[in-house]
């Protein structure tokens, strides 16, 4: 599981990062608000841990911007401010949990586990791409109103790609998100990597049988991208 850690204190970032890695998580540490949203847009993270007080702004602004852009990963706020009003404000701008400093690593890891079990918050349940509709709540893809028979993993791949708004998703991100695959199993020639190739072929074939072509494109040395443009809201 991949975690974005936005924390400007070197000591706190080192301790938290080491604790999370020891617990088996992959951690990407960042220091500035300006780095956070591009990172969240460009890479798949399962949980974001965000400090409120940062050198170039507030972690609350990062949380607010993430939700405004439709990013749905769970967000845990860290802060030295622990008044009820501060916690309420953090939750109001889109955070999922709030942990006051100082805290124990055991509690932080327990909260991360709880957030990962809860999964993403769907800011939108449905998106339309011309003739194609993807409904994440119902877990169904329809073409011209008729459901396309996708397996659960095929649908997970489609939903992850579609909600990235035309940004490429790496093979490792897909493997980790859909299978929970570790790095040593994510090579193209491995069993899990081969399964991804098979599922991609099936997804493309099923869509093509309904007259939907080039929905999923391969981006060389990067991964895959959902290439259908979103329909404008009316």
Q: What is the pLDDT of residues 110-127, one digit of tens each?
A: 999 888 776 555 556 788
Cis peptide, bond prior to residue 102, ω within 30 of zero: yes
Q: What is the CATH number of domain 126-226?
A: 1.10.10.10
The pLDDT value recorded for residue 180 is 61
The CATH class that applies to domain 2-118 reads: alpha beta
Q: How far is residue 1's CA from residue 46's CA, in Å, rounded to a whole number?
A: 6
The pLDDT value recorded for residue 49 is 96
Whether residue 9 has pLDDT greater than 50? yes
Q: How far is residue 137's CA from residue 221's CA, in Å, rounded to a whole number?
A: 32
Instruction: Say if residues 228 and 215 touch (Cβ distance below 8 Å).
Output: yes
- pTM for this predicted structure: 0.57
Whether residue 178 has pLDDT greater than 90? no
Q: How far is residue 40's CA from residue 102's CA, in Å, rounded to a whole number?
A: 26
Nearest one of 46, 63, 9 to 31, comparing CA atoms: 9
Fold matches, 2-118 and 126-226: no
Phi, psi (degrees; rounded to nearest 5) at 108 = -60, -45
What is the crossing angle of helices 84-92 and 59-68, to 10°? 30
Q: How far is residue 214's CA from residue 28's CA, in Å, rounded to a whole number?
A: 32
> 193-227: string of b/e by CB count within 10 Å (b at 16+)?
beebeebbeebbebbeeeebeebbeeeeeebbbbe
Q: Where are the domains of the chain?
A: 2-118, 126-226
């Amino acid at each position: 599981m991949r975690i974005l850690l936005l924390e400007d204190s070197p000591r706190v970032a080192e301790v938290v990062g080491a604790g999370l890695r020891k617990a088996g998580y992959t951690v990407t540490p960042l220091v500035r608000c300006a780095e956070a949203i591009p990172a969240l847009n460009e890479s798949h993270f399962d949980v974001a841990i965000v400090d409120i007080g940062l050198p170039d702004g507030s972690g609350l602004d990062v949380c607010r911007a993430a939700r405004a852009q439709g990013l749905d990963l769970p967000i845990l706020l860290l802060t030295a401010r622990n008044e009820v009003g501060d916690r309420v404000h953090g939750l109001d701008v889109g955070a999922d949990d709030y942990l006051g400093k100082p805290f124990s690593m055991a509690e932080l890891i327990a909260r991360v586990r709880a957030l990962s079990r809860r999964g993403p918050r769907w800011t939108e349940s449905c998106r339309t791409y011309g003739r194609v509709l993807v409904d994440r709540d119902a877990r169904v893809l329809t073409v011209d109103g008729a459901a396309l028979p996708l397996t659960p993993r095929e649908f997970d791949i489609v939903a992850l790609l579609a909600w990235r708004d035309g940004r490429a998703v790496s093979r490792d991100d897909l493997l980790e998100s859909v299978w929970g695959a570790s790095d040593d199993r994510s090579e193209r020639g491995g069993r899990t990597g081969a399964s991804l190739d098979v599922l991609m072929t099936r997804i493309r074939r099923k869509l093509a049988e309904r007259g939907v072509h080039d929905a999923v494109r391969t981006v060389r040395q990067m991964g895959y991208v959902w290439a259908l443009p979103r329909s404008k809201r009316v």
